[in-house]
Structure 1
Amino acid sequence: MKQFLVSAALLGITGLHAVAQDATQPKVPLDGIETNWQNGNDRRDSVPFQTKYFTPILMMDLNYTHSFNSPNDNTVVGSTALARNNEVELSQLSLGGEFNYNNARAKVLLQFGTRSVVVPRNDLSPYRGQYKLADVYRYLSEAYVGYHINKWYGINIDAGLFMSYIGLNSYYQVENWEYQASYTSDNTPWFFNGVRIQIFPSKTLKIEPWIINGWQSYGKFNSMPGFGANITWNPTSNFKILTNDYYGTDAAGLPDRKRFHSDNSLMVRYYNRPKSKGISKMAFSLTGDVGFEKGGGVNGFSADSAKGPAQYFASGMIYNRIWFYKNKFAWTVGGGIMNNPGRYLVLYPTGQASPLPNPVDPTKTEGLYPFSANPGDQFKAWDCSTNLDWMPNQSLLFRIEYVHRHANVPYFAGPGGVTSPNGYTTTPLPADWRPDLVKSEDRIVLALLFRL
């Protein structure tokens, strides 16, 4: 019986693959459509250990990154992919699998490494109530259970913790064209906690409603849940377009402040000669996001003397990728821009520059000199990057990447770091010490990415 590798980004579940089909379920989404070239998607064309009931998953992400700012505490600021400079870092070890039995379905994917700390720290919802949700969920990247309905090309109803794909990029670096994501991806959610329904009315179309706790939040900030949906259309092997849209209340203690966000991407493969020893494939991805918060002291896209300052998010990113020598090598170049007045989606700097609540006393900020994120505070940034990949087989990828990032305000870690004068958390802080934040950074990333 023939097996099909189904697009992870289209299904919204990284690594999900259709099991062998029988006469009672002959319809498979994306049957015959190539998706393994797409940014944010599984690049493999086969699954080595797939069985009828279980597909194991193992992914490893190791990196060594050098910042030319050389912060004394080796801390990376403003990234969910990177945590430590000038050190070999296990960013992520993902281990688990997918289960299928009589239309019942489940997925469990554990996560270990620095991302299990870096990503949960950006969610402040655990400070509402008890039980330390950030610790409870920290070592899970995906964990859900659901049921498949044999209607049209399939309907999946899932509840649990799953990936968002807002901002195009996958949470798993082995699926992305670039390592350090542009602001559009890095400042939008990597996960959702709630319920989703994946509806495939045709082979090339997915409609996916969500009822979730909130915007990358383990819990809820207020009484209203978050609502959203994804619509993806992948009509050919060379074209894909999608939109993700979200509405919720995600400001702690401010139920009148509503958030809307629209994320939109286009991917086009404009050249394909897979057997060529020269250029074998070329493609680009284009993403544009727009959103705002309104109410509770802020006023969306325009300032108002009575309603408050403007608070919105506008960003875009574009990448072009060229594959060489039968797709064994690839070169990617791209970048993006972001404008976020109010800084409500900015990744807060770490260490003494962090405005996150103190884990011992949530009424106080963790850092003594926090990065301001008040209504009206401006934040404009841009970035560019280029990398070269070597892919000796479909499970292993070696990457070297150069990244430049810039902001209109001091934001990135400078030579003095963001921890203490000598970089250690145990060092008492002199009265005249401040976090050393600068407006730009240049770095080189070396990454080893594995997937089985």
Structure 2
Amino acid sequence: MKKLFLSIFVGSLFTTAYAQNPTAVVKKDSVAVTDSVKTKPEPFAFGDFTWLNGNDRRHKALLDTKYFTGRFLLDFNYTASNNNPIDHTVVGSTALARDHEFEISTVAFGGDFHYDNIRASVLTQFGTRSTVVPRNDFSVTRGQFDLSTAYRYLSEANAGYHFNVLNGINVDAGIFMSYIGLFSYYNAENWAYQPSFTSDNTPWFFNGVRVQIFVSDKLKIEPWLINGWQSYGMFNSRPGIGGQILWRPKEWLQILSNNYYGADTQDKPGRKRFHTDNSIEVRYFKSSNKGSFVNSAAFSVTGDLGDEKGDGVNGFTSDPVKGPAQYFASAMLYHRMVMAKGHLGWTVGGGFMNNPGRYLVLYPTGDANPIPAINTGAVGTHPFSANPGDKFKAYDYSTTVDLMPNDYLTFRLEVVHRHANVPYFAGHGGVTSPDGYNTTTLPADFKPDLVNSETRFIAALLVRF
């Protein structure tokens, strides 16, 4: 048994394949595997899982051919904060960037190639997210060549091979989407627009190799060997390791667990990070009456726990010698109803985060930036403190209404309130300069205007083909 597992794993290091969504990939597997060979049921093909939070809600891909399945996404929003910052900067979000402006968050196009058992996926990313998400990766400051520029316009780029073993074994190498935090990187797949802190402060992508082992059509086990925690490069000399267990025993139930271990702090090779992310999603109601106004109801519960230990910090407990506590504890709960023959959706939810040491907090930008900027090396003159042991507690709650004419278009309205125990969100004075422009020389008495809370209105147009 050990020899069989070893041969599969070693072979996987030299091949690659797959896309984020297992349900969508199943359709490609059916192309890749000939009828004379395929004897096992396709993974997750026994049910309709478009109801899940973080999953593709399309029932059919429009841009589908024998060898290529195309994908196109457009994410357009207008957001307004009650703080009305003069520099129009949104602090503490990866979904949003500009306040009180029309914003193209994402334009992505590409698709999935499939021939025999070989597949490849490429999806571009343009819009504000191509700047907002890579800016949180400081591994690119190590060494030469500009990784943030080289990779920032690719959200997915991987290729690989499908093995006809068990119910299928797929191997990917490249950049692929992370599952940690339940929410998808693509808002068209989510129940809400602004993710709760649990999701927004955990990775959106990985760079490395993954092996997807479908033990049955209901269970997937997926190990990862990656550069690090949402990092294009490595902070230290060893890669990060992790994996996912995904179980869908029934059409109305999903249980998953993601786990990670790595060294992700610059110049601190002895500081190790552990993180576990666990979710359950239940569709507890589905109407059998076609004339019913309420079609279905579901909820998702997610809990995360992790810590950093070594080189000056001591995980979950403070120690006078080893250092202060530095850990991450968070949870989020969402409830979703779908009505009017699938054309109307209503979501309520929220969550909390406790992150002493602030190692996963999305740092404020501008004059509050505590980390040297990737290209200029500049640090804000009034940086947001991110020292070991610094406290950070936050919570959020939101309500979201979706109008969905079909599977490919969503009009979304959302109100979200977020609060932190320390000044963190952009206040009316913004984080950039007295007049809000980054070309203005900062006077000696200027400091970023950070406040403890914000209430935000979001309107979005989401298209996915």
TM range, smaller chain: over 0.9
Tell me by how many angstroms 1:361 deviates. 4.9
Task: Name which of 360, 365, 386 aligns with 2:399.
Answer: 386
For 1:14 and 1:151, how far apart are their aligned partners in 2?
A: 16
Tell me by how many angstroms 1:359 deviates. 3.6
* Residues 1:417 and 2:430 are matched in the alignment: yes
Tell me by how many angstroms 1:22 deviates. 3.7
Contact 1:8–1:41 (CA under 8 A) maintained in structure 2: no
The corresponding residue for 1:153 is 167
For 1:56 and 1:211, how far apart are their aligned partners in 2?
A: 28
SS in 2 for 1:112: coil
TM alignment of 1:32-43, pairs within 5 A: 32-43=46-57
Task: Name which of 275, 290, 293 aligns with 1:278.
Answer: 293
Contact 1:19–1:52 (CA under 8 A) maintained in structure 2: no
SS in 1 for 2:150: helix
The corresponding residue for 1:304 is 319
Unaligned runs of 5+ in 1: 1-6
Q: 1:198 to 1:186 in 2, by over 3 A?
A: same
* Residues 1:69 and 2:83 are matched in the alignment: yes
For 2:23 and 2:266, how far apart are their aligned partners in 1?
A: 28
The corresponding residue for 1:184 is 198
For 2:145 and 2:446, how far apart are their aligned partners in 1?
A: 35
Tell me by how many angstroms 1:47 deviates. 1.3
Unaligned runs of 5+ in 2: 1-17
The corresponding residue for 1:196 is 210
* Residues 1:326 and 2:341 are matched in the alignment: yes
For 1:435 and 1:348, how far apart are their aligned partners in 2?
A: 13
Tell me by how many angstroms 1:70 deviates. 0.2
Task: Name which of 349, 365, 370 aligns with 2:364.
Answer: 349
Contact 1:11–1:206 (CA under 8 A) maintained in structure 2: no
For 2:309 and 2:23, how far apart are their aligned partners in 1?
A: 29
Q: Which range moved further: 201-210 or 27-36?
A: 27-36
The corresponding residue for 1:121 is 135
Tell me by how many angstroms 1:227 deviates. 0.2
Q: 1:15 to 1:204 in 2, by over 3 A?
A: closer
Contact 1:169–1:181 (CA under 8 A) maintained in structure 2: yes
SS in 2 for 1:184: helix
Letter in 2 for 1:312: Y
Q: 1:276 to 1:212 in 2, by over 3 A?
A: farther
TM alignment of 1:37-436, pairs within 5 A: 37-273=51-287, 275-362=290-377, 365-436=378-449
Tell me by how many angstroms 1:300 deviates. 0.2
* Residues 1:11 and 2:19 are matched in the alignment: no
Tell me by how many angstroms 1:351 deviates. 1.0
SS in 1 for 2:148: helix
**TM-score (normalised: structure 1):** 0.96
The corresponding residue for 1:445 is 458
State how many pairs are aligned: 444
The corresponding residue for 2:8 is none
**TM-score (normalised: structure 2):** 0.93
Tell me by how many angstroms 1:368 deviates. 1.8
SS in 2 for 1:374: coil
1:264-293 CA distance string (max 9 Å, x none):
000000001273441000000000000000
Over the residues paired in the alignment, what is the CA RMSD in angstroms? 1.6
1:191-229 CA distance string (max 9 Å, x none):
000000000010000000000000000000000100001
For 1:213 and 1:233, how far apart are their aligned partners in 2?
A: 26
Tell me by how many angstroms 1:323 deviates. 0.7
For 2:76 and 2:434, how far apart are their aligned partners in 1?
A: 29
For 1:234 and 1:371, how far apart are their aligned partners in 2?
A: 42
